[in-house]
Chain A
Amino acid sequence: MEKEKLAIYGGPINVFYGKKQVLHDISLEIEKNKITAIIGQSGCGKSTLLKSLNRIIEEENGTINGDLRLFGKNLLEMDEEKLRKTIGMVFQEPIVFPFSIEKNMTYGLNYHFSLSKKARKEKVRHYLTMSGLYDEVKGDLSMHATNLSGGQKQRLAISRALSVEPEILLLDEPCSALDMKNTLLIEDLLVQLKEQYTIVIVTHNLAQAKRISDHIIFMDGGRIIESADKEKFFAAPENPLSLKYIQYMEKS
Protein backbone atom coordinates (compact mmCIF):
# COMPACT_ATOMS: atom_id res chain seq x y z
CA MET A 1 0.00 0.00 0.00
CA GLU A 2 1.17 3.56 -0.69
CA LYS A 3 2.88 5.01 2.35
CA GLU A 4 0.95 8.27 2.10
CA LYS A 5 -2.20 6.37 2.96
CA LEU A 6 -0.69 4.85 6.09
CA ALA A 7 -0.58 6.35 9.55
CA ILE A 8 1.64 3.70 11.12
CA TYR A 9 3.73 1.25 9.15
CA GLY A 10 6.92 -0.74 9.19
CA GLY A 11 8.53 -3.17 11.51
CA PRO A 12 9.47 -5.65 12.58
CA ILE A 13 9.40 -4.71 16.24
CA ASN A 14 10.01 -6.99 19.21
CA VAL A 15 8.71 -6.19 22.67
CA PHE A 16 10.11 -7.42 25.96
CA TYR A 17 9.16 -7.31 29.62
CA GLY A 18 12.57 -7.68 31.23
CA LYS A 19 14.13 -10.63 29.44
CA LYS A 20 10.80 -12.16 28.45
CA GLN A 21 9.82 -11.50 24.86
CA VAL A 22 6.08 -10.80 24.61
CA LEU A 23 5.72 -9.64 21.00
CA HIS A 24 7.59 -11.23 18.10
CA ASP A 25 8.42 -9.71 14.71
CA ILE A 26 5.44 -7.38 14.52
CA SER A 27 5.05 -5.56 11.20
CA LEU A 28 2.12 -3.23 10.74
CA GLU A 29 0.20 -1.23 8.18
CA ILE A 30 -2.41 0.97 9.85
CA GLU A 31 -4.37 2.90 7.25
CA LYS A 32 -5.34 6.54 7.81
CA ASN A 33 -9.00 7.30 8.60
CA LYS A 34 -9.91 3.66 9.01
CA ILE A 35 -10.80 1.54 12.00
CA THR A 36 -8.33 -1.27 12.55
CA ALA A 37 -9.45 -3.91 15.02
CA ILE A 38 -6.88 -6.05 16.82
CA ILE A 39 -8.48 -9.35 17.82
CA GLY A 40 -7.33 -12.59 19.38
CA GLN A 41 -7.61 -14.67 22.49
CA SER A 42 -6.85 -13.38 26.00
CA GLY A 43 -3.12 -13.05 26.55
CA CYS A 44 -2.26 -13.09 22.83
CA GLY A 45 -0.60 -9.65 23.04
CA LYS A 46 -3.37 -7.36 21.71
CA SER A 47 -3.15 -4.80 24.52
CA THR A 48 0.64 -5.08 24.60
CA LEU A 49 0.74 -4.18 20.91
CA LEU A 50 -1.57 -1.24 21.51
CA LYS A 51 0.56 -0.01 24.41
CA SER A 52 3.66 -0.34 22.22
CA LEU A 53 2.21 2.04 19.63
CA ASN A 54 2.26 5.02 22.02
CA ARG A 55 5.14 3.49 24.03
CA ILE A 56 3.16 3.60 27.25
CA ILE A 57 4.54 0.09 27.72
CA GLU A 58 7.91 1.66 28.52
CA GLU A 59 6.33 3.05 31.69
CA GLU A 60 5.62 -0.55 32.71
CA ASN A 61 9.29 -1.50 32.27
CA GLY A 62 8.69 -2.84 28.77
CA THR A 63 11.22 -2.33 25.97
CA ILE A 64 10.64 -2.14 22.23
CA ASN A 65 13.28 -2.93 19.63
CA GLY A 66 13.00 -2.30 15.92
CA ASP A 67 11.70 0.39 13.62
CA LEU A 68 8.11 1.50 13.35
CA ARG A 69 7.04 4.56 11.39
CA LEU A 70 4.46 7.13 12.39
CA PHE A 71 3.72 9.31 9.36
CA GLY A 72 7.23 8.50 8.16
CA LYS A 73 9.10 9.14 11.43
CA ASN A 74 10.51 6.35 13.60
CA LEU A 75 8.12 6.43 16.54
CA LEU A 76 10.62 4.64 18.76
CA GLU A 77 12.90 7.68 18.54
CA MET A 78 10.22 10.34 18.90
CA ASP A 79 9.80 12.50 21.97
CA GLU A 80 7.38 10.59 24.22
CA GLU A 81 5.11 13.55 24.97
CA LYS A 82 4.87 14.49 21.30
CA LEU A 83 4.20 10.89 20.34
CA ARG A 84 1.45 10.46 22.93
CA LYS A 85 -0.16 13.73 21.97
CA THR A 86 -0.33 12.44 18.39
CA ILE A 87 -1.50 8.97 19.43
CA GLY A 88 -4.23 9.27 22.05
CA MET A 89 -5.36 6.30 24.11
CA VAL A 90 -8.53 5.24 25.89
CA PHE A 91 -8.34 2.42 28.40
CA GLN A 92 -10.65 -0.48 29.13
CA GLU A 93 -11.87 0.90 32.47
CA PRO A 94 -12.95 4.49 31.92
CA ILE A 95 -10.68 6.70 34.01
CA VAL A 96 -12.26 9.97 35.05
CA PHE A 97 -10.47 12.39 37.31
CA PRO A 98 -12.37 13.18 40.52
CA PHE A 99 -13.08 16.74 39.41
CA SER A 100 -15.85 18.44 37.48
CA ILE A 101 -16.51 17.45 33.86
CA GLU A 102 -15.06 20.79 32.75
CA LYS A 103 -11.85 20.29 34.70
CA ASN A 104 -11.50 16.81 33.25
CA MET A 105 -11.67 18.34 29.80
CA THR A 106 -9.39 21.31 30.42
CA TYR A 107 -6.65 19.18 31.99
CA GLY A 108 -5.04 18.24 28.69
CA LEU A 109 -5.97 21.51 26.99
CA ASN A 110 -4.19 23.60 29.62
CA TYR A 111 -1.02 21.57 29.23
CA HIS A 112 -0.79 21.58 25.45
CA PHE A 113 -2.34 24.88 24.40
CA SER A 114 -2.43 28.50 25.51
CA LEU A 115 -6.09 29.32 25.13
CA SER A 116 -8.26 32.18 26.22
CA LYS A 117 -11.04 31.30 28.65
CA LYS A 118 -13.58 31.64 25.88
CA ALA A 119 -11.64 29.47 23.41
CA ARG A 120 -11.12 26.84 26.09
CA LYS A 121 -14.81 26.73 26.90
CA GLU A 122 -15.60 26.44 23.19
CA LYS A 123 -13.21 23.52 22.77
CA VAL A 124 -14.67 21.76 25.81
CA ARG A 125 -18.16 22.15 24.39
CA HIS A 126 -17.00 21.02 20.94
CA TYR A 127 -15.37 17.77 22.08
CA LEU A 128 -18.17 16.92 24.50
CA THR A 129 -20.70 17.50 21.72
CA MET A 130 -18.65 15.23 19.47
CA SER A 131 -19.12 12.36 21.90
CA GLY A 132 -22.77 13.24 22.47
CA LEU A 133 -22.15 13.92 26.13
CA TYR A 134 -22.79 17.66 26.11
CA ASP A 135 -26.53 17.32 25.61
CA GLU A 136 -26.78 14.50 28.13
CA VAL A 137 -25.28 16.52 30.96
CA LYS A 138 -27.44 19.44 29.82
CA GLY A 139 -24.46 21.70 29.66
CA ASP A 140 -23.83 21.41 33.42
CA LEU A 141 -20.10 21.05 33.20
CA SER A 142 -19.60 21.70 36.90
CA MET A 143 -21.08 18.28 37.61
CA HIS A 144 -18.63 15.93 39.32
CA ALA A 145 -17.38 13.48 36.70
CA THR A 146 -17.56 10.54 39.11
CA ASN A 147 -21.36 10.94 39.10
CA LEU A 148 -21.55 9.97 35.41
CA SER A 149 -22.67 6.50 34.30
CA GLY A 150 -20.13 3.98 32.95
CA GLY A 151 -20.95 4.78 29.32
CA GLN A 152 -20.82 8.53 29.94
CA LYS A 153 -17.46 8.15 31.70
CA GLN A 154 -16.07 6.28 28.71
CA ARG A 155 -17.34 8.98 26.34
CA LEU A 156 -15.81 11.62 28.60
CA ALA A 157 -12.50 9.73 28.39
CA ILE A 158 -12.80 9.71 24.59
CA SER A 159 -13.65 13.45 24.52
CA ARG A 160 -10.68 14.17 26.77
CA ALA A 161 -8.38 12.11 24.54
CA LEU A 162 -9.66 14.05 21.51
CA SER A 163 -9.21 17.40 23.25
CA VAL A 164 -5.42 17.28 22.85
CA GLU A 165 -5.96 16.93 19.09
CA PRO A 166 -4.42 13.55 18.33
CA GLU A 167 -4.35 12.10 14.84
CA ILE A 168 -4.64 8.50 15.95
CA LEU A 169 -6.86 7.09 18.68
CA LEU A 170 -6.06 3.79 20.41
CA LEU A 171 -8.86 2.11 22.31
CA ASP A 172 -8.25 -0.88 24.55
CA GLU A 173 -11.52 -2.82 24.81
CA PRO A 174 -13.46 0.39 25.46
CA CYS A 175 -16.86 -1.33 25.65
CA SER A 176 -16.02 -4.41 27.71
CA ALA A 177 -17.46 -2.88 30.89
CA LEU A 178 -20.51 -1.35 29.21
CA ASP A 179 -24.06 -2.49 28.53
CA MET A 180 -25.46 -2.95 25.02
CA LYS A 181 -26.94 0.55 24.74
CA ASN A 182 -23.70 2.27 25.68
CA THR A 183 -21.66 -0.13 23.54
CA LEU A 184 -23.70 0.84 20.49
CA LEU A 185 -23.35 4.54 21.34
CA ILE A 186 -19.56 4.21 21.46
CA GLU A 187 -19.51 2.16 18.27
CA ASP A 188 -21.55 4.84 16.43
CA LEU A 189 -19.20 7.48 17.80
CA LEU A 190 -16.11 5.62 16.56
CA VAL A 191 -17.59 5.21 13.09
CA GLN A 192 -18.22 8.97 12.98
CA LEU A 193 -14.75 9.74 14.31
CA LYS A 194 -12.91 7.82 11.62
CA GLU A 195 -13.67 10.64 9.21
CA GLN A 196 -11.17 12.72 11.14
CA TYR A 197 -9.04 10.21 13.02
CA THR A 198 -7.26 6.93 12.50
CA ILE A 199 -8.62 4.44 15.00
CA VAL A 200 -7.05 1.27 16.37
CA ILE A 201 -9.27 -0.74 18.68
CA VAL A 202 -8.51 -3.86 20.68
CA THR A 203 -11.59 -5.99 21.12
CA HIS A 204 -12.40 -9.52 22.21
CA ASN A 205 -15.84 -9.07 20.67
CA LEU A 206 -15.79 -10.47 17.16
CA ALA A 207 -19.24 -9.08 16.36
CA GLN A 208 -18.04 -5.61 17.30
CA ALA A 209 -14.99 -5.95 15.06
CA LYS A 210 -17.33 -7.05 12.26
CA ARG A 211 -19.69 -4.10 12.85
CA ILE A 212 -17.26 -1.22 12.99
CA SER A 213 -13.82 -2.11 11.64
CA ASP A 214 -12.36 -1.78 8.16
CA HIS A 215 -9.28 -3.86 8.78
CA ILE A 216 -8.53 -6.79 11.10
CA ILE A 217 -5.28 -7.80 12.75
CA PHE A 218 -5.53 -11.28 14.26
CA MET A 219 -2.92 -12.16 16.87
CA ASP A 220 -1.88 -15.30 18.69
CA GLY A 221 1.06 -16.03 20.98
CA GLY A 222 2.50 -12.53 20.63
CA ARG A 223 2.59 -12.70 16.82
CA ILE A 224 0.42 -11.31 14.06
CA ILE A 225 -1.15 -14.33 12.42
CA GLU A 226 -3.16 -12.48 9.81
CA SER A 227 -3.76 -8.89 8.78
CA ALA A 228 -6.48 -8.32 6.21
CA ASP A 229 -9.45 -6.20 5.20
CA LYS A 230 -12.52 -7.06 7.22
CA GLU A 231 -14.51 -8.56 4.34
CA LYS A 232 -11.63 -10.77 3.26
CA PHE A 233 -10.77 -11.82 6.80
CA PHE A 234 -14.28 -12.96 7.65
CA ALA A 235 -15.15 -14.39 4.23
CA ALA A 236 -11.92 -16.23 3.46
CA PRO A 237 -9.26 -16.13 6.15
CA GLU A 238 -5.89 -17.24 4.85
CA ASN A 239 -4.54 -18.78 8.02
CA PRO A 240 -6.20 -21.94 9.41
CA LEU A 241 -5.80 -20.53 12.94
CA SER A 242 -7.83 -17.46 11.92
CA LEU A 243 -10.59 -19.69 10.58
CA LYS A 244 -10.59 -21.79 13.75
CA TYR A 245 -10.83 -18.64 15.89
CA ILE A 246 -13.70 -17.19 13.83
CA GLN A 247 -15.60 -20.49 13.99
CA TYR A 248 -15.02 -20.81 17.73
CA MET A 249 -16.08 -17.23 18.45
CA GLU A 250 -19.16 -17.47 16.27
CA LYS A 251 -20.25 -20.67 18.02
CA SER A 252 -19.78 -19.27 21.53
Chain B
Amino acid sequence: MMKYSKRLGVRILLFLLGFSVITVTLGIFVYVFYKGSSVISLSFLLEGPSGIPIGTDGGVFPAIIGTLYHGLLAGLFGSLIGIGAAMYIVFFSRHRFLRNLIQVSFYFLSGLPSIIFGLIGYTVLIFRFGLDRSLLCASIATGMMLIPFVGIRAQKILQEEGEPFIKESLSLGISKAYAVRKLVLPVSFTNLLSASALAMAYGMGAVAPLMYTGAVLFANIPERLDQPFMSLPFHLYILVTDGISMEYAYGTAFVLLVLILIIHFFVRSIGFFREGGEWRPWKKKN
Protein backbone atom coordinates (compact mmCIF):
# COMPACT_ATOMS: atom_id res chain seq x y z
CA MET B 1 0.00 0.00 0.00
CA MET B 2 1.18 3.51 -0.82
CA LYS B 3 2.48 5.43 2.17
CA TYR B 4 0.56 8.48 3.37
CA SER B 5 3.45 10.81 2.46
CA LYS B 6 3.55 9.39 -1.08
CA ARG B 7 -0.21 9.74 -1.47
CA LEU B 8 0.02 13.30 -0.22
CA GLY B 9 2.88 13.96 -2.65
CA VAL B 10 0.83 12.68 -5.60
CA ARG B 11 -2.15 14.80 -4.55
CA ILE B 12 -0.04 17.94 -4.22
CA LEU B 13 1.63 17.28 -7.60
CA LEU B 14 -1.75 16.78 -9.31
CA PHE B 15 -3.13 19.88 -7.59
CA LEU B 16 -0.19 21.93 -8.87
CA LEU B 17 -0.67 20.57 -12.40
CA GLY B 18 -4.38 21.42 -12.24
CA PHE B 19 -3.62 24.84 -10.84
CA SER B 20 -1.05 25.45 -13.59
CA VAL B 21 -3.90 25.31 -16.15
CA ILE B 22 -5.65 28.17 -14.35
CA THR B 23 -2.35 30.05 -14.08
CA VAL B 24 -1.58 29.72 -17.80
CA THR B 25 -5.12 30.81 -18.77
CA LEU B 26 -5.23 33.74 -16.38
CA GLY B 27 -1.62 34.64 -17.21
CA ILE B 28 -2.36 34.93 -20.92
CA PHE B 29 -5.50 36.98 -20.41
CA VAL B 30 -4.03 39.31 -17.77
CA TYR B 31 -0.81 39.86 -19.76
CA VAL B 32 -2.58 40.54 -23.06
CA PHE B 33 -5.15 42.80 -21.40
CA TYR B 34 -2.43 44.68 -19.52
CA LYS B 35 -0.26 45.18 -22.61
CA GLY B 36 -3.13 45.85 -24.99
CA SER B 37 -5.34 48.06 -22.87
CA SER B 38 -3.18 51.14 -23.55
CA VAL B 39 -4.25 51.29 -27.22
CA ILE B 40 -7.89 50.37 -26.66
CA SER B 41 -10.13 53.30 -27.41
CA LEU B 42 -13.36 53.93 -29.25
CA SER B 43 -11.43 54.94 -32.37
CA PHE B 44 -9.32 51.76 -32.20
CA LEU B 45 -12.51 49.70 -32.19
CA LEU B 46 -14.47 51.72 -34.75
CA GLU B 47 -11.88 52.88 -37.33
CA GLY B 48 -9.81 51.19 -39.98
CA PRO B 49 -6.01 50.93 -39.75
CA SER B 50 -3.95 53.91 -40.91
CA GLY B 51 -0.43 55.34 -40.62
CA ILE B 52 2.78 54.57 -42.48
CA PRO B 53 3.42 51.67 -42.44
CA ILE B 54 -0.22 50.80 -42.18
CA GLY B 55 -1.21 49.57 -38.74
CA THR B 56 0.78 52.07 -36.75
CA ASP B 57 -2.30 54.19 -36.26
CA GLY B 58 -6.09 53.99 -36.52
CA GLY B 59 -8.04 50.91 -35.50
CA VAL B 60 -9.10 47.38 -36.33
CA PHE B 61 -12.80 47.71 -37.16
CA PRO B 62 -12.67 46.03 -40.60
CA ALA B 63 -10.63 43.22 -39.03
CA ILE B 64 -13.22 42.73 -36.27
CA ILE B 65 -16.03 42.43 -38.81
CA GLY B 66 -13.89 40.32 -41.16
CA THR B 67 -13.01 37.95 -38.31
CA LEU B 68 -16.67 37.57 -37.36
CA TYR B 69 -17.74 36.95 -40.96
CA HIS B 70 -14.93 34.45 -41.46
CA GLY B 71 -15.63 32.68 -38.16
CA LEU B 72 -19.35 32.45 -38.88
CA LEU B 73 -18.90 31.13 -42.41
CA ALA B 74 -16.14 28.68 -41.50
CA GLY B 75 -18.13 27.53 -38.45
CA LEU B 76 -21.21 27.03 -40.59
CA PHE B 77 -19.28 25.13 -43.23
CA GLY B 78 -17.46 22.91 -40.72
CA SER B 79 -20.60 22.36 -38.63
CA LEU B 80 -22.81 21.36 -41.55
CA ILE B 81 -20.38 18.72 -42.73
CA GLY B 82 -19.22 17.67 -39.25
CA ILE B 83 -22.72 17.31 -37.77
CA GLY B 84 -24.09 15.69 -40.92
CA ALA B 85 -21.28 13.12 -41.01
CA ALA B 86 -21.68 12.45 -37.29
CA MET B 87 -25.41 11.89 -37.77
CA TYR B 88 -24.71 9.48 -40.58
CA ILE B 89 -22.28 7.35 -38.60
CA VAL B 90 -24.35 7.37 -35.41
CA PHE B 91 -27.83 6.76 -36.84
CA PHE B 92 -27.88 5.80 -40.48
CA SER B 93 -24.76 3.89 -41.48
CA ARG B 94 -25.18 0.14 -41.60
CA HIS B 95 -21.73 -0.42 -43.07
CA ARG B 96 -19.15 -0.78 -40.35
CA PHE B 97 -16.28 -0.25 -42.80
CA LEU B 98 -17.63 3.10 -44.01
CA ARG B 99 -18.41 4.16 -40.45
CA ASN B 100 -14.87 3.35 -39.33
CA LEU B 101 -13.44 5.11 -42.37
CA ILE B 102 -15.32 8.33 -41.54
CA GLN B 103 -14.19 8.10 -37.93
CA VAL B 104 -10.55 7.57 -38.91
CA SER B 105 -10.88 10.53 -41.30
CA PHE B 106 -12.11 12.70 -38.44
CA TYR B 107 -9.08 11.79 -36.35
CA PHE B 108 -6.70 12.15 -39.28
CA LEU B 109 -8.08 15.60 -40.17
CA SER B 110 -7.93 16.70 -36.53
CA GLY B 111 -4.21 15.92 -36.45
CA LEU B 112 -3.31 17.82 -39.63
CA PRO B 113 -1.30 21.02 -39.17
CA SER B 114 -3.45 24.07 -39.99
CA ILE B 115 -1.01 25.28 -42.64
CA ILE B 116 -1.90 22.19 -44.71
CA PHE B 117 -5.51 23.42 -44.94
CA GLY B 118 -4.20 26.80 -46.10
CA LEU B 119 -1.98 25.13 -48.67
CA ILE B 120 -4.76 22.86 -49.98
CA GLY B 121 -7.20 25.80 -50.03
CA TYR B 122 -4.71 27.83 -52.03
CA THR B 123 -3.80 25.01 -54.44
CA VAL B 124 -7.33 23.78 -55.10
CA LEU B 125 -9.55 26.85 -54.78
CA ILE B 126 -7.27 29.59 -56.04
CA PHE B 127 -4.69 27.87 -58.25
CA ARG B 128 -6.87 25.06 -59.67
CA PHE B 129 -10.37 26.61 -59.71
CA GLY B 130 -9.15 30.14 -60.38
CA LEU B 131 -11.06 31.78 -57.54
CA ASP B 132 -9.85 35.06 -56.05
CA ARG B 133 -8.32 35.22 -52.60
CA SER B 134 -11.49 35.91 -50.72
CA LEU B 135 -13.65 35.49 -47.66
CA LEU B 136 -15.26 32.44 -49.29
CA CYS B 137 -11.97 30.64 -50.00
CA ALA B 138 -10.60 31.39 -46.53
CA SER B 139 -13.84 30.21 -44.91
CA ILE B 140 -13.82 26.96 -46.89
CA ALA B 141 -10.17 26.29 -45.99
CA THR B 142 -10.81 27.03 -42.29
CA GLY B 143 -14.12 25.15 -42.42
CA MET B 144 -12.28 21.99 -43.54
CA MET B 145 -10.10 22.36 -40.46
CA LEU B 146 -13.23 22.63 -38.29
CA ILE B 147 -14.94 19.47 -39.66
CA PRO B 148 -13.28 17.10 -37.17
CA PHE B 149 -13.55 19.69 -34.36
CA VAL B 150 -17.34 19.66 -34.69
CA GLY B 151 -17.70 16.10 -36.01
CA ILE B 152 -16.00 14.33 -33.09
CA ARG B 153 -17.97 16.38 -30.55
CA ALA B 154 -21.24 15.94 -32.45
CA GLN B 155 -20.73 12.18 -32.63
CA LYS B 156 -20.34 12.00 -28.85
CA ILE B 157 -23.36 14.29 -28.28
CA LEU B 158 -25.60 12.31 -30.63
CA GLN B 159 -24.52 8.97 -29.21
CA GLU B 160 -25.21 10.05 -25.64
CA GLU B 161 -28.35 12.09 -26.21
CA GLY B 162 -29.84 10.58 -29.33
CA GLU B 163 -29.40 6.81 -29.36
CA PRO B 164 -31.89 5.89 -26.60
CA PHE B 165 -34.48 8.20 -28.17
CA ILE B 166 -33.99 6.66 -31.60
CA LYS B 167 -34.47 3.18 -30.12
CA GLU B 168 -37.63 4.32 -28.34
CA SER B 169 -38.93 5.99 -31.50
CA LEU B 170 -38.31 2.89 -33.61
CA SER B 171 -40.23 0.82 -31.07
CA LEU B 172 -43.18 3.19 -31.60
CA GLY B 173 -43.08 2.45 -35.32
CA ILE B 174 -41.60 5.88 -36.09
CA SER B 175 -39.03 6.35 -38.84
CA LYS B 176 -35.46 7.29 -38.04
CA ALA B 177 -35.58 10.42 -40.19
CA TYR B 178 -38.65 11.70 -38.30
CA ALA B 179 -37.07 10.86 -34.94
CA VAL B 180 -33.89 12.71 -35.83
CA ARG B 181 -35.83 15.76 -37.03
CA LYS B 182 -38.46 15.96 -34.30
CA LEU B 183 -36.63 14.53 -31.33
CA VAL B 184 -32.86 14.16 -31.56
CA LEU B 185 -32.11 17.54 -33.11
CA PRO B 186 -34.28 19.57 -30.67
CA VAL B 187 -32.84 17.63 -27.73
CA SER B 188 -29.22 17.94 -28.87
CA PHE B 189 -29.65 21.47 -30.21
CA THR B 190 -27.99 23.19 -27.25
CA ASN B 191 -24.90 21.01 -27.29
CA LEU B 192 -24.60 20.98 -31.08
CA LEU B 193 -24.89 24.76 -31.12
CA SER B 194 -22.23 24.96 -28.40
CA ALA B 195 -19.91 22.74 -30.45
CA SER B 196 -20.49 24.93 -33.52
CA ALA B 197 -19.92 28.15 -31.58
CA LEU B 198 -16.69 26.79 -30.10
CA ALA B 199 -15.62 25.79 -33.60
CA MET B 200 -16.38 29.31 -34.74
CA ALA B 201 -14.18 30.69 -31.94
CA TYR B 202 -11.42 28.24 -32.88
CA GLY B 203 -11.71 29.20 -36.55
CA MET B 204 -11.66 32.91 -35.75
CA GLY B 205 -8.24 32.53 -34.15
CA ALA B 206 -6.69 30.61 -37.04
CA VAL B 207 -4.11 32.31 -39.27
CA ALA B 208 -2.58 29.56 -41.38
CA PRO B 209 -5.67 28.52 -43.38
CA LEU B 210 -6.48 32.10 -44.38
CA MET B 211 -3.09 33.66 -45.01
CA TYR B 212 -2.88 32.20 -48.55
CA THR B 213 -6.57 32.12 -49.25
CA GLY B 214 -8.21 35.41 -48.35
CA ALA B 215 -6.79 37.56 -45.55
CA VAL B 216 -4.97 40.76 -46.54
CA LEU B 217 -3.08 43.51 -44.76
CA PHE B 218 -5.73 46.10 -45.55
CA ALA B 219 -9.25 45.87 -46.95
CA ASN B 220 -12.59 47.39 -46.27
CA ILE B 221 -15.40 45.36 -44.78
CA PRO B 222 -16.21 42.75 -47.44
CA GLU B 223 -19.54 43.28 -49.12
CA ARG B 224 -19.41 40.06 -51.09
CA LEU B 225 -18.04 36.60 -50.47
CA ASP B 226 -15.50 36.92 -53.29
CA GLN B 227 -13.70 39.87 -51.72
CA PRO B 228 -10.54 39.70 -49.61
CA PHE B 229 -10.91 40.70 -45.99
CA MET B 230 -9.02 41.78 -42.90
CA SER B 231 -8.76 39.36 -40.01
CA LEU B 232 -7.61 40.06 -36.45
CA PRO B 233 -5.19 37.12 -36.14
CA PHE B 234 -3.65 37.84 -39.56
CA HIS B 235 -3.39 41.55 -38.70
CA LEU B 236 -1.68 40.60 -35.45
CA TYR B 237 0.69 38.28 -37.32
CA ILE B 238 1.70 41.03 -39.75
CA LEU B 239 2.09 43.64 -37.00
CA VAL B 240 4.51 41.34 -35.15
CA THR B 241 6.46 39.71 -38.03
CA ASP B 242 6.96 42.99 -39.89
CA GLY B 243 7.81 44.74 -36.63
CA ILE B 244 5.15 47.40 -37.29
CA SER B 245 3.86 47.95 -33.77
CA MET B 246 3.95 45.65 -30.77
CA GLU B 247 1.61 48.01 -28.94
CA TYR B 248 -1.04 47.68 -31.66
CA ALA B 249 -0.36 43.95 -31.86
CA TYR B 250 -1.31 43.56 -28.20
CA GLY B 251 -4.33 45.80 -28.76
CA THR B 252 -5.42 43.51 -31.61
CA ALA B 253 -4.85 40.43 -29.47
CA PHE B 254 -6.92 42.07 -26.73
CA VAL B 255 -9.87 42.53 -29.10
CA LEU B 256 -9.55 38.98 -30.45
CA LEU B 257 -9.57 37.52 -26.94
CA VAL B 258 -12.62 39.58 -25.98
CA LEU B 259 -14.48 38.30 -29.06
CA ILE B 260 -13.58 34.71 -28.20
CA LEU B 261 -14.58 35.29 -24.56
CA ILE B 262 -17.97 36.61 -25.70
CA ILE B 263 -18.52 33.46 -27.77
CA HIS B 264 -17.56 31.25 -24.81
CA PHE B 265 -19.93 33.22 -22.60
CA PHE B 266 -22.67 32.75 -25.19
CA VAL B 267 -21.98 28.99 -25.27
CA ARG B 268 -22.15 28.75 -21.48
CA SER B 269 -25.37 30.73 -21.34
CA ILE B 270 -27.31 28.73 -23.95
CA GLY B 271 -28.06 26.01 -21.40
CA PHE B 272 -29.62 28.63 -19.15
CA PHE B 273 -32.31 29.31 -21.74
CA ARG B 274 -33.10 25.72 -22.62
CA GLU B 275 -34.36 22.86 -20.54
CA GLY B 276 -34.02 19.47 -22.20
CA GLY B 277 -35.39 19.78 -25.70
CA GLU B 278 -37.39 22.97 -25.20
CA TRP B 279 -36.76 26.62 -24.59
CA ARG B 280 -37.38 27.33 -20.93
CA PRO B 281 -41.02 28.12 -20.38
CA TRP B 282 -40.59 31.38 -18.47
CA LYS B 283 -44.27 32.09 -18.45
CA LYS B 284 -45.30 28.84 -16.78
CA LYS B 285 -44.45 27.46 -13.42
CA ASN B 286 -44.64 23.69 -13.12
- A binding-site residues for B, Cβ under 8 Å: 54, 56, 59, 61, 80-86, 88-89, 91, 93, 95, 97-100, 103, 107-108, 111-112, 140, 142-144, 146-147, 157, 160-161, 164
Note all chain A residues with C-beta closer than 8 A to B175: 81, 111
Is B45 an interface residue when CB atoms closer than 8 A count as contact? no
B86 vs chain A, min Cβ distance (A) = 18
- Docked-complex contact A84 and B276, CB < 8 angstroms: no
Chain A, Cβ-Cβ closest to B278: A99
- Docked-complex contact A160 and B284, CB < 8 angstroms: no
B252 vs chain A, min Cβ distance (A) = 42
Is B160 an interface residue when CB atoms closer than 8 A count as contact? no
Is B241 an interface residue when CB atoms closer than 8 A count as contact? no
Mask: chain B, 85-111; 1 = CB below 8 Å from A; 0 = not? 000000000100000000000000000
Note all chain B residues with C-beta closer than 8 A to A112: 173-174
Note all chain A residues with C-beta closer than 8 A to B94: 61
Chain B, Cβ-Cβ closest to A140: B286
CB contact between A95 and one of B168, B174, B277, B281 (< 8 Å): that residue: B168
Q: How many residues of B contact A (CB 8 A)?
A: 23
- Docked-complex contact B183 and A54, CB < 8 angstroms: no
Is B167 an interface residue when CB atoms closer than 8 A count as contact? yes
Is B275 an interface residue when CB atoms closer than 8 A count as contact? yes
Mask: chain B, 202-234; 1 = CB below 8 Å from A; 0 = not? 000000000000000000000000000000000
Chain A, Cβ-Cβ closest to B281: A142
Note all chain B residues with C-beta closer than 8 A to A56: 167, 170-171
B1 vs chain A, min Cβ distance (A) = 35
Note all chain A residues with C-beta closer than 8 A to B182: 107
Is B187 an interface residue when CB atoms closer than 8 A count as contact? yes
Chain A, Cβ-Cβ closest to B169: A107
- Docked-complex contact A84 and B172, CB < 8 angstroms: yes
Note all chain B residues with C-beta closer than 8 A to A98: 187, 275-278
Report the Cα distance A111→B180, complex, angstroms.
13
Report the Cα distance A84→B176, complex, angstroms.
13
CB contact between B172 and one of A59, A99, A143, A160 (< 8 Å): that residue: A160
A177 vs chain B, min Cβ distance (A) = 14
- Docked-complex contact B171 and A107, CB < 8 angstroms: no
Note all chain A residues with C-beta closer than 8 A to B277: 97-99
- Docked-complex contact B167 and A81, CB < 8 angstroms: no
Report the Cα distance A83→B275, complex, angstroms.
34
Mask: chain B, 263-286; 1 = CB below 8 Å from A; 0 = not? 000000000000111100100101
Mask: chain B, 106-135; 1 = CB below 8 Å from A; 0 = not? 000000000000000000000000000000
Q: Name the 7 nearest CB pairs between A and B, nearest first.
A: A98-B276, A85-B173, A89-B171, A84-B173, A108-B172, A95-B168, A81-B173
A/B interface sample: 26 pairs, CB < 8 A? A56-B170, A59-B170, A80-B173, A81-B173, A81-B174, A84-B171, A84-B172, A89-B171, A93-B164, A95-B164, A95-B167, A95-B168, A97-B165, A97-B276, A98-B278, A99-B278, A111-B172, A111-B174, A111-B175, A142-B281, A142-B286, A144-B275, A144-B286, A146-B276, A147-B286, A160-B172
Is B178 an interface residue when CB atoms closer than 8 A count as contact? yes
Chain A, Cβ-Cβ closest to B164: A95
Report the Cα distance A161→B170, complex, angstroms.
11
- Docked-complex contact B284 and A142, CB < 8 angstroms: yes
Decide: A88 near B275, CB < 8 A? Known: A59-B167, A140-B286: no
Interfacial residues of chain B within 30-81, with CB under 8 A of chain A in the complex: none
Chain B, Cβ-Cβ closest to A55: B170
Note all chain B residues with C-beta closer than 8 A to A100: 278
9 extra interchain contacts, Cβ-Cβ under 8 A, other than A54-B171, A82-B173, A142-B286?
A56-B170, A59-B167, A81-B175, A95-B165, A95-B168, A98-B278, A107-B174, A144-B286, A161-B172
Chain B, Cβ-Cβ closest to A147: B286
Note all chain A residues with C-beta closer than 8 A to B174: 81, 107-108, 111-112
